[in-house]
Structure 1
Amino acid sequence: MGEIVDTVGWRLILERARDKAVNHNTASFVQLATFDPKLGAQVRTLVFRGFADDGESLLMATDGQSAKLKQVRHDKRSQIVWYLVDARQQFRFSGELVSVGHATRDQVERLALWRSLSYATRSSFFANTLGELEGDVNAKVLSDGAPESFVMLKLVVTEVDHLDLNLNPHQRHRYVRERAHWKIERIGLND
């Protein structure tokens, strides 16, 4: 039987699990699954860049020519799996993946994400299709303005499946968004 919770309990559990990470760089790697109408499920690793202003949506960055953007235009339903090795916790986030490029409305959040990126990451958005930097990109990289190729991805989370492998037997909980609240229920490992 589920209960309604006002706070985002899964986020607190996630933040505690991330705090246990020995290597904080790899603790930011997430696997994003989208759907391609010809190829089926497509999974790739991205870097989690933070939470959106709503405190619940997950942010990532990608290049505007990425195949995942075509897949998202076809079907916004996506999943992210995040396994935190040191904490022995797995989170599976389901929701709609929204792409925010240079011609969309969420520019404040997009530009804030751009400014938070490292120099090396920013410079990758000025590379050609072979990954080679062309010309002097230093001034462009240091600019506060993001290039057209920079796209913010926002997974608007509607469900979280949390698996805790520390406990024996393992425990699994599902958090489901219901209007302004989250419903939490303990579920079996086979559900």
Structure 2
Amino acid sequence: MATTPDAALASVRDALAAATTRRTPFTLASLATASADGAPRSRSVILRAWDVDRAVLGIATDARSAKVREIRADPRVALVVWDDDTQVQVRLEGRAAVLEDADERRRRWDALGTRSRRGYATLAAPGTPVDPGGTPAQDDDEAAWFGRFAWVEVAVDRVDRLDLSTDPHDRVVAERDGAGWRARRVAP
């Protein structure tokens, strides 16, 4: 049974809130950017924060990563999440920015668990070749780890929710409309 466009948008908001407070199928998203030559680049990211009032997602990443350079060059991004249990796909489009505010960046860093912070111990930048069979060198300097940490915020401008569990399939697209959202049903 088809849901109303506003109810579909509300379900996406709720699912993103849940995904950033506990592990759900929407916690792991695919983030797409454009490379310097315009080629598409996609990688998995963990959604770590969702500000429902501003429609802004938060993602932690290595400041030396290609995605940071790509976002700074062209902030347009897309994310895709899929819930196999409910058969719902959500595509999110918006503009990303690398957080420059030092205090807010520190707050985001402090909210990460020890295991997540340890991910920034690698001395080499992401994508740097390593010796075959070797592991990248790491350090134990947590201040250096913080220096490698970046917080990316994605201001969502468009939501595309496709429900494949219904017959016929149900698709709703919502776009920012001033301070609010305009949601409408579209052909799947």
Cα contact 2:160–2:173 (8 A) shared by 1 = yes
Cα contact 2:15–2:26 (8 A) shared by 1 = no
Residue in structure 2 matched with residue 57 of structure 1 by the alignment? 56
Paired with 2:27 and 2:186, the residues of 1 have a C-alpha distance of 26
Residue in structure 2 matched with residue 114 of structure 1 by the alignment? 109
Flag structure 2 segments of 5+ consecutive residues without an equivalent: 125-129, 131-135
Q: Secondary structure at the match of 2:147?
A: coil
1:28 is displaced (CA, Å) by 1.1
Question: Deviations along 1:12-56, whole A, 9 cap, x unmatched?
Answer: 335358869xx9365411000000132600000011102147451
Question: Deviations along 1:50-84, whole A, 9 cap, x unmatched?
Answer: 21474511111110110111111221111000111
Q: Secondary structure at the match of 1:161?
A: strand
Cα contact 2:171–2:187 (8 A) shared by 1 = yes
Residue in structure 2 matched with residue 184 of structure 1 by the alignment? 183
In the alignment, is residue 125 of structure 1 matched against residue 120 of structure 2?
Answer: yes
1:148 is displaced (CA, Å) by 1.8
Cα contact 1:11–1:56 (8 A) shared by 2 = no
Cα contact 2:54–2:155 (8 A) shared by 1 = no
Higher alpha-carbon deviation: 8-17 or 61-70? 8-17
Residue in structure 1 matched with residue 36 of structure 2 by the alignment? 37
Alpha-carbon spacing, 1:31–1:11, altered in 2? closer, same or farther (3 Å): farther
Give TM-score, length-normalised by structure 1: 0.78
Paired with 1:15 and 1:36, the residues of 2 have a C-alpha distance of 32
Flag structure 1 segments of 5+ consecutive residues without an equivalent: none
Alpha-carbon spacing, 1:14–1:63, altered in 2? closer, same or farther (3 Å): same
Alpha-carbon spacing, 1:16–1:63, altered in 2? closer, same or farther (3 Å): closer
Paired with 2:5 and 2:187, the residues of 1 have a C-alpha distance of 19
In the alignment, is residue 66 of structure 1 matched against residue 61 of structure 2?
Answer: no
Please tell me the root mean square deviation across aligned C-alpha atoms, in Å. Answer: 3.0
Higher alpha-carbon deviation: 123-132 or 152-161? 123-132
Alpha-carbon spacing, 1:89–1:109, altered in 2? closer, same or farther (3 Å): farther
1:108 is displaced (CA, Å) by 4.3
Cα contact 1:17–1:84 (8 A) shared by 2 = no
1:110 is displaced (CA, Å) by 2.6
Alpha-carbon spacing, 1:25–1:176, altered in 2? closer, same or farther (3 Å): closer
Alpha-carbon spacing, 1:84–1:17, altered in 2? closer, same or farther (3 Å): farther
